[in-house]
Structure 1
Amino acid sequence: MSEILLNAGTGEVEVVEFIVRGKHYAINVLKIKGIVTIDEVMPFPNTREEVAGLTNVRNEMDVVIDLSFVLHKVHTQDYKKALGLLCEFNETKVVFLVDQVNGIRRIGWNDIKQTTNIKAETLSIGSLMLDETIIILLDFETITIKAGIGNMWEAGTVSEDTIVSRQEKIMVVEDSRAIREMLKCVLEEAGFSNLKLFENGQLAKDYIFDLKEKFGAKFRQQVDLVITDVEMPILDGYSLTRAIKEDDTLKELPVIIFSSLITEELQHKGKELGADAQLSKPSMNELVKVINMFFGK
């Protein structure tokens, strides 16, 4: 396994580049459990159009999402000519159909541009240019949520014993609009109304370091806790955590890493950086419980 997969906060990421209907896309290599061939897909009755059905992968039934339909509104006609990216989101294994896999690329998060002037959900983390080719880094969690797959949070499901009525100041750093809004709803339902939302790690870092410049050691009067995703354009969550924890003034600020990349195998990354807690999406109720622990409830 290469060094980039073992170290955190390097500002780099390895992605698998793939093609769907002639266009180039990418996914973080850590999200892929395997690249598989598809023999047959059994359709599901009464499901969303992007859900092709079920397929047999290594003697397990896994859900298949047709990226051709998600991205271009055209169904894949011949599954045997496609490849499947086997991933796990929302505690469910998902196979994403693609036309071709080009290989692994190493890139810097600061090379990924975030499109902020598009108001609608773009289903992308960002885009970059490599060898004069535009590559879109897709937001696979949002694609999975929109397909209605996995364990979703629903309004009214926060446990009664976790509900608080406090004014602690919480920063939420999450590039996906869908998940950012979901986190906002969860935290507000749990009683936290003093929230600041950031769409990438650089914006959050600039805000925190501005607080340090203005207030010095008293910056904690302005922020009590940071919740950050890992995969974000410009500056990723690991690099944000490192910047906070390596600063003599900011290092006592609690940081919770909340990401689909949090697995037993990758827990060491956040620990090396000094993250105070790490939780895997979409454990929303567990997130609220952990927040309450930090605030002594």
Structure 2
Amino acid sequence: MITLKGAEVSAKIREQVDELCKGMTGSTPKLAIVRVGERPDDLSYERGALKKMEAFGLLAESFAFPGDISDEDFKREFSKINENPEIQGILLLRPLPEQIREKDIEEMIQPKKDLDGISPVNIAKVFAGDESGFAPCTAEAVVEVLKANEIPMTGKKVIVVGRSMVVGRPLSMLMLKENATVTICHTRTENLKETCKQGDILVAAVGRAKMLDGSYVGTGAVVIDVGINVDENGKLCGDVDFDSLEGIASMATPVPGGVGAVTTAVLAKHLVIAGLSQR
């Protein structure tokens, strides 16, 4: 089984970013990472994003708020970030605590700064196949991994396990745009294991540590794991039991070191595009 490492894909995106930067004048684009609380997966993503922006020669600042901040107070603080002309892009780490109306924030964020595709405007563009908006970074990263490794999507059966607006649904739209035949599954899908085994490409985006193992994978399938979880030993792991795939899958992404590294590279690319559009 071939391990699809994110670093190699990230390096290719870095070349695209460098090319985009040649047409940029003025100040370096700046990313605001907005976090509420201290969820382990959020902290991991934040660290990776900060490191990636620095590596790509871009600016980033973290805005962290306590997990019990009120809806009113958070909206006030978010508005300041949203309206700050020195910030060209925003990454909001989700889900937000239940006392905050997340839908309100999604509607507040300026689409031109919405690098992770959470605003109604950008989501609508993704579903319409309009590339002028920003797709969610993780969903786009999955497509980038497949393209960089020359894994064809046209005509292939793609099984996406997970129906969130963060990954599952927008990824399905991006896959359809690549002429794949897509099936969206979730934890309540009947005969989930049998359905997953039918996929040429299996994408795990369900948010449950090691939920899928080799028994869910068809012989020779490509497995893309976008999960970021913490196991019983406090270590990062994906939605897939990676070791169980040996001898079954042809290729698979590890966690960590797989899609996550590409997601932050896509975020950097989106930041440069946003910076160029706001000159």
Larger Rg: 1
* Structure with the higher helix share, 1 or 2: 2
TM-score (norm 1): 0.37
TM-score (norm 2): 0.39
User: Which structure's relative contact order is higher, taking Cα pairs within 8 Å and 6+ residues apart?
Assistant: 2
